[in-house]
Amino acid sequence: MSERFEIAFLGTGSPLPNPDRCGAGNVVVAGDTHVLVDCGWGAARRILPSGIRPSVIDTALFTHMHTDHMTDFPDFLFLRWTAGAQTPLRVFGPEGTAEMVEGFLLALRRDIGFRIAHHGDKLHPDGIRVEVTEIPATPEPHAFLDLTGLRCESFEVDHFPVVPAFGYRFSFDGRVAVLSGDTSLCDSLAAAARGADLLVCEAMNLPMMEQRIAGLNAAGMTRESGLLSDVPSYHIATDQIAALAHDAGVGEIVLTHIIPPITNDPGQVAAFGAGMSDVYAGPIRVARDTERVAVVKRPS
C-alpha cells in the first residue's frame, strides 16, 4: 500500500476579499511529515479544521514576499507553540525570508515574554524559535531538503516585479506534486511540471477578470479598475494552465489562489474552469479551504 501523500488547502484565495477563501496556504503531508507552504491571511486558522495539529509542522516554505502569502505566519507560530511544539521551526524561502521572519519576531517579542512569564515551563522555549535558510533562485528545480523521503525542490517563477518568487516540486513514494506559487506563464513552471502527478496552480479566469474591471469602470471606480488592470500581467490564466498541463503530461490539475474571487457555488466553480477540459483531458478541480487532495500516480 502506498504511503499517504496529499495537499491540505488552508487558503485558496487571493488579496481580493472573499468570504469563502482565506489567503494562500497549504500543508504538504507525506507519511508523518507535514510541511507548511505559505501562510496568508486567515490560513493559520484553517489548520485545525483541516485535521492537522499545528505542533506536527516543523518545516515551513515561502514562495515570495506578498502579504497574502505570509501575514498569518505570526498566528501560526503561536498556534504551533501553544499546541506543544518543542523544536524550532525550520523556514526556507527566497531572498527576503529572513528579513520577514526577523520583523515578525521583533513585533512578537513582548508577547512572547508575557506568555513565558504567565505559563512558565508549560511552553517550551525552543517551540517559538525559528531557523531560516534562504534558497538560491534557479530556473531549474533545485533540491534543498529531504525529509524522511520527501524531496523538496525550488524553482524560480515569473511574478515580476516580485523577484525572486518560487514554485516548489515535491517527490515522495514515487509520486510528484508541483505547487506553482504566484506566476505568469513561464518556461520554468512548464519544466518543473513535466510528468507531475499533481499540479497545484494559481489561477486567473481572464474573461471574469475583464468583466470585473469593466464593471468598476462603468461604476466610475477608475482607480480600482486601474489597480485590477495591473493584475493579469503577473498571473497565469486558466486556458494557459490547461495547455501547459497537457503539454507537460500532468496527471491532475488543482486550481487555487482564485482570481477574481468566486464563492463555492457550483455554478461559479464551473464557470471559473470553463473551457479547460477542451484542452486538457485529465481531472480538474477548484480547491476549497480545508480540502485535502491526495497525490495519485498518473496513468502511465
Residues 36-72 pLDDT 10s: 999 999 999 999 999 999 999 999 999 999 999 999 9
The reported pTM is 0.96
Whole-number pLDDT of residue 300 = 72
List active site positions: 68
Beta bridge partners of 78: none
Beta strands in the chain (DSSP E): 5-11, 25-30, 33-39, 59-61, 89-93, 130-134, 142-147, 150-159, 162-172, 175-179, 198-204, 253-259, 284-286, 292-294
Determine the angle formed by the axes of helices 73-82 and 97-119, rounding to 10 degrees. 40
Q: Which positions of the chain have pLDDT values less than 70?
A: 1
Three cell numbers written together for 171: 517527490
Domains of the chain: 5-294 (3.60.15.10)
